[in-house]
């Protein structure tokens, strides 16, 4: 009887220890990404992106683009975004993105009475969507390509839409 009680106690202890062990989750996966939009960099509007992977199929991030070229109307853009991933693996493959644009856009006007060009920087905001694909190497290097569009909600701008386009390279860590 004592032996059976000891075996039962050992079996219960073994089961409790077994259930106390957590299943291995994806927490050992790198969840942070830093990226550079090479397409915008070639257009003299460097854009840097940080993305935090919230789960296997979602991510939250922000892109910041700026220019020092007076001929380009986009002066500064901050684009927070939320992504839904549909591919195999941890946050890779095809994705859909919802984004918001906050930034400064130069408005050019010509005053015929003084024969001068007038430039005003105007703050604007908008909402947009994009679709794309993310590729990941075994060493956590990233390649992305995406295309989308957004709409400005400032009625005074001559341009009503903003592009969301990119050929992006970066690193997941």
Kindly state whether residue 6 falls inside one of the protein's structural domains: no
Please give the pLDDT value at position 45.
94
Rounded to two decimals, the pTM is: 0.79
Q: Per the domain annotation, does 1 fall within a domain?
A: no
Q: What is the pLDDT of residue 6?
A: 45
pLDDT grade for 34, boundaries at 50, 70 and 90: very high
pLDDT, mean of residues 43-58? 97
The mean pLDDT value for 4-19 works out to 49
- Give the residue, 111 or 35, on which the prediction is more confident: 35
- Percent with pLDDT over 70 in the chain: 82
Round to whole Å and give the CA distance between 130 and 162: 11
- Report, as an integer, the average pLDDT of 16-24: 48
Q: How many domains does the chain have?
A: 1
Residue 50 in domain: yes
Distance of CA 162 to the CA centre of its chain: 16
In a domain, 13, yes or no: no
**In this predicted structure, what is the pLDDT of residue 155?**
64
The answer to the question of residue 87 being in a domain is yes
Which CATH number goes with the domain that contains 42?
Answer: 2.40.160.20
pLDDT band at 107 (very low <50, low <70, confident <90, very high): confident
Rounded mean pLDDT of 34-44? Answer: 96
In a domain, 5, yes or no: no
Average pLDDT over residues 15-32: 62
User: Residue 111: CB partners within 8 Å, gap ≥ 6?
Assistant: 117, 118
Q: Containing domain of residue 73, as a range?
A: 31-172
**For residue 23, is it within any domain?**
no
CA atoms within 13 A on the CB side of 57: 7
pLDDT at 25 over 60: no
Q: What is the mean pLDDT of residues 33-55?
A: 97
Average pLDDT of 82-111? 92
Is residue 173 predicted with pLDDT exceeding 70?
yes
Q: Long-range contacts: 109-112, Cβ < 8 Å, 24+?
A: none
Say if 131 falls within a structural domain: yes
What does the pLDDT look like over 121-152, one tens digit per residue? 889 999 999 999 999 999 999 999 999 999 99
């Amino acid at each position: 009887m004592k032996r059976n009680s000891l075996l039962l106690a050992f079996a219960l202890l073994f089961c409790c220890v077994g259930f106390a062990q957590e299943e291995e989750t994806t927490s050992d996966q790198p969840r942070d990404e830093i990226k550079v939009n090479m397409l915008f960099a070639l257009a003299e509007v460097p854009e840097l992106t940080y993305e935090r992977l919230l789960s296997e199929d979602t991510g939250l991030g922000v892109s910041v683009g700026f220019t020092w070229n007076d001929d380009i109307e986009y002066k500064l853009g901050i684009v927070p975004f939320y992504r839904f991933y549909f591919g195999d693996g941890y946050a890779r493959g095809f994705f859909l993105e919802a984004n918001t644009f906050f930034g400064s856009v130069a408005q050019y006007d010509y005053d015929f009475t003084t024969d001068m060009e007038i430039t005003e920087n105007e703050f604007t905001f908008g909402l947009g969507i994009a679709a794309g694909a993310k590729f990941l190497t075994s060493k956590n290097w990233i390649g992305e390509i995406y295309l989308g569009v957004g709409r400005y909600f400032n009625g005074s701008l001559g341009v009503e839409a903003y592009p969301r386009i990119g050929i992006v390279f970066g690193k997941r860590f």
